[in-house]
Chains A and B, each alone.
Chain A
Protein backbone atom coordinates (compact mmCIF):
# COMPACT_ATOMS: atom_id res chain seq x y z
CA UNK A 1 0.00 0.00 0.00
CA UNK A 2 1.24 3.49 -0.85
CA UNK A 3 2.08 5.77 2.08
CA UNK A 4 -0.57 8.21 0.90
CA UNK A 5 -3.26 5.57 1.48
CA UNK A 6 -2.20 4.80 5.04
CA UNK A 7 -3.00 6.31 8.40
CA UNK A 8 -0.46 8.08 10.59
CA UNK A 9 -0.44 5.09 12.93
CA UNK A 10 0.14 2.59 10.07
CA UNK A 11 3.26 4.52 9.10
CA UNK A 12 4.37 5.06 12.69
CA UNK A 13 4.21 1.28 13.29
CA UNK A 14 6.34 0.69 10.18
CA UNK A 15 8.92 3.19 11.46
CA UNK A 16 8.96 1.43 14.85
CA UNK A 17 9.53 -1.92 13.13
CA UNK A 18 12.32 -0.54 10.96
CA UNK A 19 14.14 1.70 13.46
CA UNK A 20 13.22 0.44 16.96
CA UNK A 21 16.42 1.73 18.56
CA UNK A 22 16.47 5.18 16.96
CA UNK A 23 15.84 8.01 19.38
CA UNK A 24 12.27 9.21 18.87
CA UNK A 25 12.05 11.86 21.63
CA UNK A 26 14.59 13.91 23.54
CA UNK A 27 13.71 16.22 26.39
CA UNK A 28 16.46 17.78 28.50
CA UNK A 29 18.49 14.73 29.65
CA UNK A 30 15.78 12.15 28.91
CA UNK A 31 15.40 10.20 25.69
CA UNK A 32 12.98 7.60 24.38
CA UNK A 33 13.55 5.17 21.51
CA UNK A 34 10.90 4.33 18.92
CA UNK A 35 10.35 0.92 20.57
CA UNK A 36 9.86 2.60 23.95
CA UNK A 37 7.53 5.25 22.51
CA UNK A 38 5.48 2.52 20.88
CA UNK A 39 5.18 0.47 24.06
CA UNK A 40 4.58 3.45 26.36
CA UNK A 41 1.87 4.75 24.03
CA UNK A 42 0.34 1.24 23.89
CA UNK A 43 -0.16 1.41 27.64
CA UNK A 44 -1.73 4.86 27.53
CA UNK A 45 -3.93 3.78 24.60
CA UNK A 46 -5.13 0.80 26.64
CA UNK A 47 -5.98 3.18 29.49
CA UNK A 48 -7.85 5.49 27.09
CA UNK A 49 -9.79 2.57 25.67
CA UNK A 50 -10.66 1.40 29.20
CA UNK A 51 -11.95 4.93 29.81
CA UNK A 52 -14.31 4.59 26.88
CA UNK A 53 -12.35 6.34 24.13
CA UNK A 54 -13.46 4.97 20.77
CA UNK A 55 -13.05 5.79 17.11
CA UNK A 56 -14.52 9.17 16.25
CA UNK A 57 -13.93 10.67 19.72
CA UNK A 58 -11.83 13.76 20.28
CA UNK A 59 -9.43 13.83 23.23
CA UNK A 60 -8.00 17.16 24.31
CA UNK A 61 -4.39 17.45 25.36
CA UNK A 62 -3.72 20.19 27.90
CA UNK A 63 -0.13 19.52 28.82
CA UNK A 64 3.18 21.21 29.26
CA UNK A 65 5.73 20.28 26.60
CA UNK A 66 7.20 16.96 27.76
CA UNK A 67 7.78 13.41 26.59
CA UNK A 68 4.36 12.48 27.99
CA UNK A 69 2.63 14.92 25.64
CA UNK A 70 3.81 13.01 22.58
CA UNK A 71 3.11 9.61 24.15
CA UNK A 72 -0.44 10.91 24.66
CA UNK A 73 -0.82 12.06 21.04
CA UNK A 74 0.33 8.70 19.64
CA UNK A 75 -1.93 6.87 22.11
CA UNK A 76 -5.00 8.88 21.08
CA UNK A 77 -4.43 8.04 17.41
CA UNK A 78 -3.92 4.35 18.26
CA UNK A 79 -7.48 4.36 19.66
CA UNK A 80 -8.81 5.73 16.37
CA UNK A 81 -9.61 9.03 18.11
CA UNK A 82 -8.46 12.54 17.26
CA UNK A 83 -6.49 14.91 19.47
CA UNK A 84 -7.29 18.51 20.23
CA UNK A 85 -4.08 20.23 21.39
CA UNK A 86 -4.74 23.20 23.67
CA UNK A 87 -2.34 26.08 24.14
CA UNK A 88 -1.63 26.25 27.86
CA UNK A 89 -0.98 30.00 27.52
CA UNK A 90 -4.44 30.66 26.11
CA UNK A 91 -7.11 32.14 28.36
CA UNK A 92 -9.22 29.46 30.06
CA UNK A 93 -12.36 30.86 28.39
CA UNK A 94 -10.91 30.21 24.96
CA UNK A 95 -9.76 26.68 25.79
CA UNK A 96 -13.12 25.89 27.36
CA UNK A 97 -14.81 27.09 24.19
CA UNK A 98 -12.61 24.74 22.11
CA UNK A 99 -13.34 21.77 24.40
CA UNK A 100 -17.09 22.35 24.18
CA UNK A 101 -17.18 22.98 20.43
CA UNK A 102 -15.14 19.84 19.72
CA UNK A 103 -17.43 17.75 22.01
CA UNK A 104 -14.45 16.54 24.01
CA UNK A 105 -15.34 13.99 26.68
CA UNK A 106 -11.85 13.23 27.95
CA UNK A 107 -8.80 15.40 28.55
CA UNK A 108 -5.22 14.39 29.30
CA UNK A 109 -3.41 16.91 31.44
CA UNK A 110 -0.45 17.56 33.72
CA UNK A 111 -1.50 21.07 34.73
CA UNK A 112 -4.01 22.66 37.07
CA UNK A 113 -7.19 22.94 35.05
CA UNK A 114 -10.15 23.51 37.35
CA UNK A 115 -11.39 26.32 35.13
CA UNK A 116 -11.64 23.94 32.14
CA UNK A 117 -13.68 21.27 33.85
CA UNK A 118 -17.31 20.47 33.32
CA UNK A 119 -19.54 17.67 34.54
CA UNK A 120 -19.18 15.59 31.38
CA UNK A 121 -15.40 16.00 30.90
CA UNK A 122 -13.27 13.15 32.28
CA UNK A 123 -9.62 13.69 33.15
CA UNK A 124 -6.51 11.58 32.95
CA UNK A 125 -3.63 13.19 34.80
CA UNK A 126 -0.24 12.19 33.47
CA UNK A 127 1.87 13.45 36.39
CA UNK A 128 2.91 10.69 38.78
CA UNK A 129 0.64 8.37 36.85
CA UNK A 130 2.07 4.88 36.45
CA UNK A 131 0.11 4.54 33.21
CA UNK A 132 2.60 6.90 31.55
CA UNK A 133 5.66 5.06 32.90
CA UNK A 134 4.64 1.51 32.04
CA UNK A 135 5.12 -0.34 28.79
CA UNK A 136 2.71 -2.65 27.04
CA UNK A 137 4.25 -4.86 24.36
CA UNK A 138 1.10 -5.35 22.31
CA UNK A 139 -1.95 -3.27 21.63
CA UNK A 140 -4.37 -3.82 18.80
CA UNK A 141 -4.78 -0.37 17.29
CA UNK A 142 -8.25 0.64 16.17
CA UNK A 143 -8.53 0.30 12.42
CA UNK A 144 -8.11 3.83 11.05
CA UNK A 145 -8.35 4.97 7.45
CA UNK A 146 -6.63 7.82 5.66
CA UNK A 147 -9.79 9.96 5.68
CA UNK A 148 -10.48 9.53 9.39
CA UNK A 149 -10.06 12.51 11.69
CA UNK A 150 -6.59 12.86 13.26
CA UNK A 151 -6.73 16.24 15.01
CA UNK A 152 -8.77 19.39 15.50
CA UNK A 153 -7.11 22.79 15.57
CA UNK A 154 -8.75 26.16 16.13
CA UNK A 155 -8.09 29.24 14.01
CA UNK A 156 -9.32 32.79 14.37
CA UNK A 157 -12.78 33.20 12.87
CA UNK A 158 -14.26 36.15 11.02
CA UNK A 159 -17.59 35.60 12.78
CA UNK A 160 -16.04 36.61 16.10
CA UNK A 161 -15.53 33.02 17.26
CA UNK A 162 -12.59 30.64 16.67
CA UNK A 163 -13.24 27.89 14.14
CA UNK A 164 -12.23 24.26 14.67
CA UNK A 165 -10.59 22.73 11.60
CA UNK A 166 -10.91 18.95 11.21
CA UNK A 167 -7.75 17.41 9.77
CA UNK A 168 -7.59 13.79 8.58
CA UNK A 169 -4.68 11.33 8.65
CA UNK A 170 -3.96 11.64 4.90
CA UNK A 171 -3.26 15.35 5.34
CA UNK A 172 -0.52 14.75 7.92
CA UNK A 173 1.03 12.03 5.74
CA UNK A 174 0.97 14.31 2.70
CA UNK A 175 2.81 17.00 4.70
CA UNK A 176 5.80 14.94 5.78
CA UNK A 177 6.20 11.80 3.63
CA UNK A 178 7.49 11.58 0.03
CA UNK A 179 7.21 15.29 -0.51
CA UNK A 180 9.03 17.73 -2.76
CA UNK A 181 10.13 20.48 -0.36
CA UNK A 182 12.04 18.51 2.27
CA UNK A 183 13.62 15.09 2.72
CA UNK A 184 13.69 14.23 6.41
CA UNK A 185 16.22 11.51 7.23
CA UNK A 186 16.57 9.23 10.24
CA UNK A 187 19.72 11.16 11.16
CA UNK A 188 17.78 14.41 11.51
CA UNK A 189 16.60 16.07 14.70
CA UNK A 190 13.69 18.52 14.55
CA UNK A 191 13.14 21.01 17.34
CA UNK A 192 9.59 20.98 18.74
CA UNK A 193 9.32 24.67 19.49
CA UNK A 194 5.88 25.68 18.20
CA UNK A 195 2.84 25.67 20.40
CA UNK A 196 1.16 22.28 19.87
CA UNK A 197 -2.03 24.24 19.16
CA UNK A 198 -0.35 25.91 16.16
CA UNK A 199 -0.22 23.85 12.97
CA UNK A 200 3.54 24.24 12.46
CA UNK A 201 3.79 21.71 15.31
CA UNK A 202 2.30 19.07 12.98
CA UNK A 203 5.32 19.44 10.70
CA UNK A 204 7.71 19.26 13.66
CA UNK A 205 6.09 16.30 15.44
CA UNK A 206 5.09 14.05 12.56
CA UNK A 207 7.99 15.16 10.35
CA UNK A 208 10.19 13.48 12.95
CA UNK A 209 8.02 10.56 14.07
CA UNK A 210 6.94 9.34 10.62
CA UNK A 211 10.50 9.45 9.27
CA UNK A 212 12.45 7.76 12.09
CA UNK A 213 14.11 11.07 13.03
CA UNK A 214 14.39 12.61 16.51
CA UNK A 215 11.90 15.08 17.94
CA UNK A 216 13.94 17.33 20.23
CA UNK A 217 11.43 18.85 22.65
CA UNK A 218 12.16 22.45 23.60
CA UNK A 219 12.02 22.66 27.39
CA UNK A 220 11.19 26.35 27.92
CA UNK A 221 7.69 27.55 28.76
CA UNK A 222 8.20 30.46 26.36
CA UNK A 223 10.80 31.43 23.76
CA UNK A 224 14.04 32.07 25.66
CA UNK A 225 17.10 32.74 23.48
CA UNK A 226 19.49 31.06 25.91
CA UNK A 227 17.48 27.83 26.18
CA UNK A 228 16.92 27.92 22.41
CA UNK A 229 20.64 28.17 21.58
CA UNK A 230 21.67 25.58 24.19
CA UNK A 231 19.07 23.01 23.14
CA UNK A 232 19.79 23.34 19.42
CA UNK A 233 23.40 22.46 20.27
CA UNK A 234 22.65 19.86 22.95
CA UNK A 235 20.23 17.90 20.75
CA UNK A 236 22.13 18.42 17.45
CA UNK A 237 19.04 19.94 15.86
CA UNK A 238 19.26 19.92 12.05
CA UNK A 239 15.77 21.09 11.05
CA UNK A 240 13.94 24.06 12.58
CA UNK A 241 10.73 26.01 11.97
CA UNK A 242 10.46 29.66 13.01
CA UNK A 243 7.58 32.07 12.50
CA UNK A 244 8.58 35.12 10.46
CA UNK A 245 8.81 37.52 13.42
CA UNK A 246 11.07 35.23 15.42
CA UNK A 247 13.06 34.37 12.28
CA UNK A 248 13.85 38.07 11.76
CA UNK A 249 14.88 38.62 15.39
CA UNK A 250 17.06 35.51 15.55
CA UNK A 251 18.73 36.25 12.22
CA UNK A 252 19.35 39.90 13.10
CA UNK A 253 20.67 39.36 16.62
CA UNK A 254 21.47 35.73 17.24
CA UNK A 255 22.33 34.02 13.97
CA UNK A 256 25.09 31.77 15.30
CA UNK A 257 22.48 29.85 17.30
CA UNK A 258 21.41 28.42 13.93
CA UNK A 259 24.81 27.00 12.97
CA UNK A 260 24.00 23.26 13.52
CA UNK A 261 21.04 23.40 11.08
CA UNK A 262 20.94 22.20 7.49
CA UNK A 263 17.33 23.26 6.93
CA UNK A 264 15.55 26.31 8.31
CA UNK A 265 11.86 26.68 7.56
CA UNK A 266 10.18 30.00 8.19
CA UNK A 267 6.86 31.60 7.32
CA UNK A 268 3.51 32.63 8.68
CA UNK A 269 4.19 36.08 7.32
CA UNK A 270 6.28 37.75 4.64
CA UNK A 271 10.01 37.01 4.94
CA UNK A 272 12.57 39.74 4.49
CA UNK A 273 14.91 38.70 1.60
CA UNK A 274 17.88 40.39 3.31
CA UNK A 275 17.41 38.20 6.36
CA UNK A 276 17.22 35.09 4.17
CA UNK A 277 20.43 36.11 2.38
CA UNK A 278 22.16 36.70 5.71
CA UNK A 279 21.34 33.11 6.74
CA UNK A 280 22.57 31.73 3.41
CA UNK A 281 25.83 33.69 3.75
CA UNK A 282 26.44 32.80 7.39
CA UNK A 283 25.43 29.14 7.77
CA UNK A 284 27.41 26.97 5.38
CA UNK A 285 25.29 24.71 3.16
CA UNK A 286 21.95 25.65 4.73
CA UNK A 287 18.63 25.55 2.87
CA UNK A 288 16.01 28.11 3.84
CA UNK A 289 12.41 27.21 3.03
CA UNK A 290 9.59 29.74 2.99
CA UNK A 291 6.56 27.72 4.07
CA UNK A 292 3.08 29.05 3.35
CA UNK A 293 -0.37 27.69 3.99
CA UNK A 294 -3.61 27.96 5.93
CA UNK A 295 -4.49 25.49 8.71
CA UNK A 296 -7.40 24.35 6.49
CA UNK A 297 -4.88 22.83 4.06
CA UNK A 298 -2.60 21.37 6.75
CA UNK A 299 0.36 23.59 7.54
CA UNK A 300 1.88 24.01 4.09
CA UNK A 301 0.29 24.60 0.71
CA UNK A 302 3.32 26.04 -1.10
CA UNK A 303 7.01 26.15 -0.27
CA UNK A 304 9.97 27.99 -1.75
CA UNK A 305 13.43 26.51 -1.24
CA UNK A 306 16.39 28.88 -1.17
CA UNK A 307 20.11 28.09 -1.19
CA UNK A 308 23.26 30.06 -1.98
CA UNK A 309 22.63 29.22 -5.63
CA UNK A 310 18.97 30.16 -5.52
CA UNK A 311 18.76 33.38 -3.58
CA UNK A 312 15.73 35.60 -3.18
CA UNK A 313 15.78 38.89 -5.01
CA UNK A 314 13.19 41.56 -4.39
CA UNK A 315 10.56 39.51 -2.61
CA UNK A 316 10.55 35.98 -1.23
CA UNK A 317 7.92 34.00 -3.17
CA UNK A 318 5.72 31.43 -1.46
CA UNK A 319 6.92 29.17 -4.23
CA UNK A 320 5.22 26.16 -5.73
CA UNK A 321 2.64 23.66 -4.44
CA UNK A 322 3.93 20.85 -2.27
CA UNK A 323 3.28 17.26 -3.36
CA UNK A 324 -0.40 16.32 -3.18
CA UNK A 325 -1.60 19.90 -3.53
CA UNK A 326 -3.86 21.35 -6.25
CA UNK A 327 -3.82 25.11 -6.56
CA UNK A 328 -5.89 27.53 -8.57
CA UNK A 329 -5.64 31.30 -8.82
CA UNK A 330 -9.18 32.51 -9.42
CA UNK A 331 -11.26 35.65 -9.64
CA UNK A 332 -14.56 36.21 -7.82
CA UNK A 333 -16.40 34.21 -10.53
CA UNK A 334 -13.97 31.31 -9.92
CA UNK A 335 -12.34 31.83 -13.31
CA UNK A 336 -8.55 31.62 -13.77
CA UNK A 337 -6.90 34.97 -13.05
CA UNK A 338 -3.49 36.15 -11.90
CA UNK A 339 -3.44 38.08 -9.61
CA UNK A 340 -6.37 36.38 -7.94
CA UNK A 341 -7.41 34.47 -4.87
CA UNK A 342 -5.51 31.29 -4.10
CA UNK A 343 -7.85 28.30 -3.98
CA UNK A 344 -6.46 24.98 -2.79
CA UNK A 345 -7.35 21.31 -2.80
CA UNK A 346 -5.73 17.87 -2.82
CA UNK A 347 -4.82 15.38 -0.11
CA UNK A 348 -3.90 18.11 2.40
CA UNK A 349 -7.37 19.59 2.44
CA UNK A 350 -9.13 19.28 5.77
CA UNK A 351 -12.60 17.86 6.37
CA UNK A 352 -14.08 21.30 7.03
CA UNK A 353 -15.03 22.91 10.34
CA UNK A 354 -16.42 21.09 13.36
CA UNK A 355 -19.62 23.13 13.39
CA UNK A 356 -20.39 21.94 9.86
CA UNK A 357 -20.18 25.47 8.50
CA UNK A 358 -18.84 25.29 4.93
CA UNK A 359 -17.69 28.90 4.95
CA UNK A 360 -14.82 29.09 2.42
CA UNK A 361 -14.99 25.38 1.50
CA UNK A 362 -16.75 24.28 -1.68
CA UNK A 363 -16.92 21.47 -4.22
CA UNK A 364 -16.10 21.75 -7.91
CA UNK A 365 -15.45 18.39 -9.52
CA UNK A 366 -14.10 20.06 -12.65
CA UNK A 367 -11.15 21.20 -10.54
CA UNK A 368 -10.63 18.61 -7.82
CA UNK A 369 -12.36 15.47 -6.60
CA UNK A 370 -12.46 16.55 -2.95
CA UNK A 371 -13.17 19.78 -1.12
CA UNK A 372 -11.63 23.05 -2.26
CA UNK A 373 -10.79 25.94 0.07
CA UNK A 374 -10.69 29.63 -0.71
CA UNK A 375 -7.69 30.92 1.25
CA UNK A 376 -8.61 34.62 1.12
CA UNK A 377 -4.99 35.27 0.06
CA UNK A 378 -4.39 37.28 -3.10
CA UNK A 379 -1.43 35.90 -5.06
CA UNK A 380 0.09 35.99 -8.54
CA UNK A 381 2.60 34.09 -10.63
CA UNK A 382 6.02 35.70 -11.09
CA UNK A 383 8.10 35.31 -14.25
CA UNK A 384 9.56 32.04 -12.93
CA UNK A 385 6.06 30.62 -12.46
CA UNK A 386 6.45 30.82 -8.70
CA UNK A 387 3.63 32.18 -6.59
CA UNK A 388 3.98 35.50 -4.81
CA UNK A 389 1.80 36.55 -1.91
CA UNK A 390 0.25 40.01 -2.38
CA UNK A 391 -2.12 40.41 0.58
CA UNK A 392 -5.38 39.37 2.20
CA UNK A 393 -8.80 39.66 0.63
CA UNK A 394 -10.70 39.97 3.91
CA UNK A 395 -10.27 41.55 7.31
CA UNK A 396 -7.72 38.99 8.45
CA UNK A 397 -4.03 39.53 9.12
CA UNK A 398 -1.02 37.50 10.16
CA UNK A 399 0.42 38.35 13.58
CA UNK A 400 3.42 36.37 14.80
CA UNK A 401 2.54 33.58 12.39
CA UNK A 402 -1.09 33.30 13.47
CA UNK A 403 -3.96 34.18 11.18
CA UNK A 404 -5.99 36.69 13.10
CA UNK A 405 -9.43 38.05 12.38
CA UNK A 406 -9.66 41.77 13.15
CA UNK A 407 -13.43 41.28 13.43
CA UNK A 408 -12.95 38.75 16.23
CA UNK A 409 -10.70 41.14 18.17
CA UNK A 410 -13.07 44.05 17.60
CA UNK A 411 -15.90 41.93 18.90
CA UNK A 412 -13.91 41.32 22.13
CA UNK A 413 -13.14 45.05 22.42
CA UNK A 414 -16.81 45.93 22.07
CA UNK A 415 -17.67 43.47 24.83
CA UNK A 416 -15.65 45.59 27.26
CA UNK A 417 -17.44 47.86 29.67
CA UNK A 418 -17.15 51.59 28.80
CA UNK A 419 -16.06 50.91 25.20
CA UNK A 420 -18.66 52.21 22.76
CA UNK A 421 -16.77 51.69 19.51
CA UNK A 422 -13.43 50.35 18.36
CA UNK A 423 -11.30 50.00 15.25
CA UNK A 424 -8.11 48.12 14.52
CA UNK A 425 -5.32 48.21 12.03
CA UNK A 426 -1.95 46.67 11.46
CA UNK A 427 1.30 48.59 11.42
CA UNK A 428 4.74 47.44 10.41
CA UNK A 429 7.79 47.98 12.55
CA UNK A 430 11.11 48.90 10.87
CA UNK A 431 12.03 45.20 10.70
CA UNK A 432 8.91 44.53 8.63
CA UNK A 433 7.03 42.65 11.35
CA UNK A 434 3.39 43.46 11.86
CA UNK A 435 1.77 44.62 15.06
CA UNK A 436 -1.79 45.48 16.02
CA UNK A 437 -3.06 48.90 16.97
CA UNK A 438 -6.55 49.43 18.38
CA UNK A 439 -8.34 52.70 18.91
CA UNK A 440 -11.10 52.68 21.50
CA UNK A 441 -13.91 55.15 21.84
CA UNK A 442 -15.18 55.36 25.43
CA UNK A 443 -18.83 55.85 26.26
CA UNK A 444 -19.61 59.51 26.72
CA UNK A 445 -17.91 61.31 29.63
CA UNK A 446 -15.98 58.20 30.66
CA UNK A 447 -12.24 57.62 30.73
CA UNK A 448 -10.68 54.27 29.86
CA UNK A 449 -7.95 52.61 31.91
CA UNK A 450 -5.91 51.13 29.06
CA UNK A 451 -3.73 48.92 31.26
CA UNK A 452 -6.89 47.42 32.81
CA UNK A 453 -8.32 46.87 29.34
CA UNK A 454 -5.20 44.93 28.36
CA UNK A 455 -5.62 42.73 31.44
CA UNK A 456 -9.33 42.17 30.72
CA UNK A 457 -8.61 41.19 27.11
CA UNK A 458 -6.21 38.54 28.39
CA UNK A 459 -9.23 36.69 29.82
CA UNK A 460 -10.69 36.12 26.39
CA UNK A 461 -7.95 36.49 23.77
CA UNK A 462 -4.64 34.70 23.28
CA UNK A 463 -1.58 36.89 23.69
CA UNK A 464 -0.97 37.37 19.96
CA UNK A 465 -4.50 38.78 19.50
CA UNK A 466 -4.22 41.46 22.17
CA UNK A 467 -3.44 44.75 20.38
CA UNK A 468 0.16 45.83 20.95
CA UNK A 469 -0.90 49.46 21.09
CA UNK A 470 -4.15 50.74 22.60
CA UNK A 471 -5.26 54.29 21.88
CA UNK A 472 -8.18 56.11 23.47
CA UNK A 473 -10.01 58.52 21.23
CA UNK A 474 -13.24 60.42 21.81
CA UNK A 475 -14.13 59.93 18.15
CA UNK A 476 -13.27 57.53 15.34
CA UNK A 477 -12.78 60.06 12.53
CA UNK A 478 -13.26 58.98 8.94
CA UNK A 479 -11.48 60.15 5.80
CA UNK A 480 -13.41 61.57 2.87
CA UNK A 481 -13.47 58.03 1.43
CA UNK A 482 -15.26 56.80 4.51
CA UNK A 483 -12.24 54.92 5.86
CA UNK A 484 -10.88 55.23 9.37
CA UNK A 485 -8.61 58.30 9.49
CA UNK A 486 -5.59 56.71 11.13
CA UNK A 487 -3.34 59.72 10.58
CA UNK A 488 -5.73 62.02 12.37
CA UNK A 489 -6.00 59.63 15.33
CA UNK A 490 -2.23 59.30 15.62
CA UNK A 491 -1.69 63.07 15.30
CA UNK A 492 -4.07 63.73 18.17
CA UNK A 493 -2.15 61.47 20.54
CA UNK A 494 -0.26 63.17 23.39
Chain B
Protein backbone atom coordinates (compact mmCIF):
# COMPACT_ATOMS: atom_id res chain seq x y z
CA UNK B 1 0.00 0.00 0.00
CA UNK B 2 1.19 3.51 -0.83
CA UNK B 3 2.37 5.48 2.21
CA UNK B 4 0.29 8.55 2.81
CA UNK B 5 2.28 11.66 3.60
CA UNK B 6 1.62 13.39 6.90
CA UNK B 7 0.54 16.48 4.95
CA UNK B 8 -2.15 14.50 3.09
CA UNK B 9 -3.38 12.97 6.35
CA UNK B 10 -3.44 16.40 7.96
CA UNK B 11 -5.53 17.83 5.09
CA UNK B 12 -8.06 15.02 5.22
CA UNK B 13 -8.46 15.14 9.00
CA UNK B 14 -8.65 18.92 9.06
CA UNK B 15 -11.40 18.82 6.42
CA UNK B 16 -13.35 16.22 8.45
CA UNK B 17 -12.93 18.15 11.70
CA UNK B 18 -14.12 21.33 9.95
CA UNK B 19 -17.37 19.56 9.02
CA UNK B 20 -18.29 19.51 12.73
CA UNK B 21 -19.50 22.78 14.22
CA UNK B 22 -17.66 22.22 17.51
CA UNK B 23 -14.38 21.54 15.68
CA UNK B 24 -14.38 24.24 13.00
CA UNK B 25 -10.87 25.80 12.72
CA UNK B 26 -9.91 24.00 15.89
CA UNK B 27 -6.48 24.56 17.43
CA UNK B 28 -4.42 21.45 16.65
CA UNK B 29 -3.56 20.93 20.31
CA UNK B 30 -7.01 21.59 21.77
CA UNK B 31 -8.59 18.61 23.52
CA UNK B 32 -11.72 17.84 21.50
CA UNK B 33 -13.59 16.61 24.59
CA UNK B 34 -13.17 20.04 26.17
CA UNK B 35 -14.94 21.43 23.10
CA UNK B 36 -18.05 19.36 23.70
CA UNK B 37 -17.34 16.49 21.32
CA UNK B 38 -19.13 13.30 22.36
CA UNK B 39 -17.84 9.76 22.00
CA UNK B 40 -20.42 9.25 19.23
CA UNK B 41 -18.87 12.09 17.25
CA UNK B 42 -15.44 10.50 17.70
CA UNK B 43 -16.82 7.27 16.24
CA UNK B 44 -18.38 9.15 13.33
CA UNK B 45 -15.10 10.96 12.61
CA UNK B 46 -13.18 7.71 12.91
CA UNK B 47 -15.38 5.94 10.36
CA UNK B 48 -15.05 8.83 7.90
CA UNK B 49 -11.30 9.21 8.48
CA UNK B 50 -10.58 5.53 8.02
CA UNK B 51 -12.62 5.33 4.86
CA UNK B 52 -10.66 8.25 3.41
CA UNK B 53 -7.25 7.13 4.71
CA UNK B 54 -7.71 3.36 4.27
CA UNK B 55 -6.15 2.89 7.69
CA UNK B 56 -7.54 1.34 10.87
CA UNK B 57 -6.91 2.11 14.50
CA UNK B 58 -8.93 1.62 17.67
CA UNK B 59 -11.47 4.07 19.05
CA UNK B 60 -9.76 3.87 22.43
CA UNK B 61 -6.47 5.06 20.88
CA UNK B 62 -8.28 7.99 19.27
CA UNK B 63 -9.90 8.84 22.60
CA UNK B 64 -6.46 8.84 24.23
CA UNK B 65 -4.99 11.13 21.53
CA UNK B 66 -7.91 13.55 21.63
CA UNK B 67 -6.51 16.45 19.61
CA UNK B 68 -6.31 17.05 15.87
CA UNK B 69 -2.51 16.83 16.04
CA UNK B 70 -2.79 13.64 18.08
CA UNK B 71 -4.91 12.04 15.37
CA UNK B 72 -2.57 13.22 12.61
CA UNK B 73 0.39 11.68 14.41
CA UNK B 74 -1.48 8.44 15.15
CA UNK B 75 -2.58 7.90 11.54
CA UNK B 76 0.82 9.02 10.16
CA UNK B 77 2.57 6.41 12.29
CA UNK B 78 0.08 3.80 11.15
CA UNK B 79 0.60 4.73 7.53
CA UNK B 80 4.36 4.29 7.87
CA UNK B 81 3.97 0.96 9.68
CA UNK B 82 1.55 -0.29 7.01
CA UNK B 83 4.03 0.52 4.28
CA UNK B 84 6.92 -1.37 5.92
Give chain A's interface residues, CB within 8 Å of chain B. Answer: 220-227, 245-246, 249, 252-254, 400, 433, 435, 450-451, 454, 463, 467-470
> Would A468 and B38 be within 8 Å (CB), given that A223-B43, A249-B44, A253-B48 are in contact?
yes
> Would A221 and B60 be within 8 Å (CB), given that A463-B39, A468-B36, A470-B36 are in contact?
yes
Give Cα A53–Cα B62 distance, bound, in whole angstroms: 42
Q: Which 4 residue pairs across A and B have the least CB separation, nearest first?
A: A469-B36, A224-B59, A451-B34, A253-B47
Contact A469 B60 (CB under 8 A): no
Contact A246 B34 (CB under 8 A): no
> Would A222 and B47 be within 8 Å (CB), given that A454-B33, A468-B36 are in contact?
no
> Would A224 and B60 be within 8 Å (CB), given that A249-B47, A469-B22 are in contact?
yes
Give Cα A466–Cα B66 distance, bound, in whole angstroms: 17
A residues near B33, Cβ cutoff 8 Å: 454
Q: Which residue of A lies closest to B51 (CB)?
A: A253
Q: Name 8 A/B residue pairs within 8 A (Cβ), A-sorted.
A: A222-B39, A222-B59, A226-B58, A253-B47, A254-B47, A435-B36, A451-B34, A454-B34
Task: Report how many residues on chain B are interfacial, defined by Cβ distance under 8 Å.
Answer: 21
B residues near A469, Cβ cutoff 8 Å: 22, 36
A223 CB to nearest B CB, Å: 6
A residues near B43, Cβ cutoff 8 Å: 223-225, 246, 249
Contact A223 B36 (CB under 8 A): no
Give chain B's interface residues, CB within 8 Å of chain A. Answer: 22, 31, 33-34, 36-40, 43-44, 46-48, 50-51, 56, 58-60, 63
Contact A225 B46 (CB under 8 A): yes
Give Cα A255–Cα B34 distance, bound, in whole angstroms: 30
Give Cα A469–Cα B34 distance, bound, in whole angstroms: 8
Contact A222 B38 (CB under 8 A): no
> Would A222 and B60 be within 8 Å (CB), given that A249-B43, A469-B22 are in contact?
yes
Give Cα A272–Cα B30 distance, bound, in whole angstroms: 32
B69 CB to nearest A CB, Å: 17
Q: Which residue of B lies closest to A225 (CB)?
A: B47
> Would A245 and B34 be within 8 Å (CB), given that A221-B60, A222-B63 are in contact?
no
Give Cα A400–Cα B62 distance, bound, in whole angstroms: 20
Contact A245 B46 (CB under 8 A): no
Contact B34 A226 (CB under 8 A): no
A residues near B47, Cβ cutoff 8 Å: 225, 249, 253-254
A residues near B31, Cβ cutoff 8 Å: 451
B residues near A221, Cβ cutoff 8 Å: 60
